[in-house]
Structure 1
Amino acid sequence: MVVPTLPGAPLNKQDWAYHQIRQWILSGELKPGQRLDQDTLANMLSISRIPLRQALSRLFAQGFVDHRPNQSWVVSPVSLADARDVYAGREALEVLLTEMATPLIDDGALDEIAAILEAQQSALDKEDLDLARHHDREFHDRIYQVAGMQRTLQMQQQLRAMSDRYIAMYMSDIDRALAGIREHREILETLRAGDVEAAKRAVGAHVRGGIVVLEALLS
């Protein structure tokens, strides 16, 4: 596994370890069920075991790793049952946040969302799927921030983090990624129109579209 140089700022060692191990899991370099040897990881990342354990605890909270009774850490398995559970929660919260955001969204926010969407399209045109996933998250976050429901947004972001492994699975397919862009454009149009019910339907269908693809991949 390739380990980039530890950045001087802004990440501390715990954040560095968290982001790097998470990326290895998302990329498939660390595979479901694989045991994570703490000494090996600490040496690879040039950190002590304390920030490493803190990073693993964060990854555990987000469903990326499991902690076994013998004190070992392993990469969590992926399963259709888990994906359905996570996506059901996401749909409920994201539809609610969309319902609350749509009447409040202004032209400035709409322009920001449109710019994010174009950045996502540009990333896909270059087949930079990692950057496209980054802009995918930005697109949704910017909409949901408008709702002003911080507790609900925190829960949504936790579920989104839990779904990142599944998103990486289906967004590695350029056709599915392009379909996601089309769905984003539909969502943006409903927001511009101020049509709350249409926006809710578009967001709900977008989230469900992900689970449909996962059913084909994981069945």
Structure 2
Amino acid sequence: MHSMEFDDPQSGLERAVQTLEEEIVLGFLHPRERLVEDELLARFNLKRHVVRQVLVELERMGLVERKRNVGALVRAYTIKEVEDLYAVRELLECQCVQLIRFPVPEEKMQALEATQREHDAQVTAGNLRLVFRANMSFHRQLFALSDNPVLVAAIQDHAQRAHSIRSSSLVLPEQLERARREHWQIIEALKAGDSHCLVELCRAHLAPSRDAYVEAYHRRAGLVTQTEPKHLSA
């Protein structure tokens, strides 16, 4: 990958964090993959203390874990951790959309639809980084309709922690198309003022990324079992 040069350490830190966040959520960086300080120094042309700040921020976001004598690794989850995280995400997000008051102001509906049209365009273009950013923007605007910024912040925090889990589904064309369609269904439920439908759509919207990660986890575990060398008894 090409190195990047930044004059302002703060902008360099933010850009490095954003780039690595995208690469984790898109599966370019895999769970348990090491993030080596020297490689990040060369790639982003940052000072060592700034690179360490990048890793601290990624750890705070739940994307990276740092282990003694190993260094920084892309966060990997057990099946139970995935199920627990998604149970909390479902509670937060479903509660959030139940707080939305109808009718939603027209200017906010128009802004949400404009964001979704941008998401549509990036899905069609196959620009996964911009798909990811438009998707995040759509959900921020949706949950902001609850007028509860504390709850929205909690949702965002838990969504960030799920980034490496979502990589199993975010890059698949059929999953991108499914998510795009579901966004429009959410918009229609908002227009109709149908709170029950909105809750059920949000609950269903979470399931595919969780299920894809669990399936991939079992697939990897099965592959390891099949390829383990068989030791002959003495």
Counterparts of residues 117-196 of structure 1 (less than 5 Å)? 117-196=116-195
In the aligned structure 2, how far is the partner of 1:43 from the partner of 1:106?
A: 48
State the TM-score, normalized to the length of structure 2. Answer: 0.83
Q: Please give the root-mean-square deviation of Cα atoms over the aligned residues, in Å.
A: 2.3
* 2:96 alignment partner in structure 1: 97
Contact 1:101 1:146 in 2 (8 A): yes
Amino acid at match of 2:47: S
* 1:212 alignment partner in structure 2: 211
Structure 1 residue 200 displacement after superposition: 1.1
In the aligned structure 2, how far is the partner of 1:57 from the partner of 1:75?
A: 12
Unaligned 5+ segments in structure 2 are 219-234
Counterparts of residues 75-114 of structure 1 (less than 5 Å)? 75-103=74-102, 105-114=104-113
Contact 1:98 1:144 in 2 (8 A): yes
Amino acid at match of 2:2: V
Contact 1:102 1:191 in 2 (8 A): no
The alignment partner of 1:6 has SS state of coil
TM-superposition CA deviations, 1:135-158 (whole Å, max 9, x none): 111111101112121111111101
Contact 2:13 2:54 in 1 (8 A): yes
In the aligned structure 1, how far is the partner of 2:70 from the partner of 2:175?
A: 39
In the aligned structure 2, how far is the partner of 1:202 from the partner of 1:166?
A: 20
**Cα distance change on mapping 1:26 and 1:196 into 2, 3 Å:** closer
In the aligned structure 1, how far is the partner of 2:209 from the partner of 2:155?
A: 16
* 2:2 alignment partner in structure 1: 2
Contact 1:24 1:30 in 2 (8 A): yes
* 1:38 alignment partner in structure 2: 37
In the aligned structure 1, how far is the partner of 2:28 from the partner of 2:126?
A: 20
In the aligned structure 2, how far is the partner of 1:209 from the partner of 1:33?
A: 22
**Cα distance change on mapping 1:34 and 1:51 into 2, 3 Å:** same
**Cα distance change on mapping 1:146 and 1:212 into 2, 3 Å:** same
Greater C-alpha radius of gyration: 2
Range with bigger deviation, 170-179 or 10-19: 10-19
The alignment partner of 2:29 has SS state of coil
In the aligned structure 2, how far is the partner of 1:143 from the partner of 1:27?
A: 22
Contact 1:104 1:147 in 2 (8 A): no
The alignment partner of 2:162 has SS state of helix
The alignment partner of 1:101 has SS state of coil
Amino acid at match of 1:2: H
In the aligned structure 2, how far is the partner of 1:117 from the partner of 1:66?
A: 33
**Cα distance change on mapping 1:167 and 1:28 into 2, 3 Å:** closer
Structure 1 residue 175 displacement after superposition: 0.5
**Cα distance change on mapping 1:71 and 1:165 into 2, 3 Å:** closer
What number of residue pairs does the alignment pair up?
218
Identity score, percent: 20
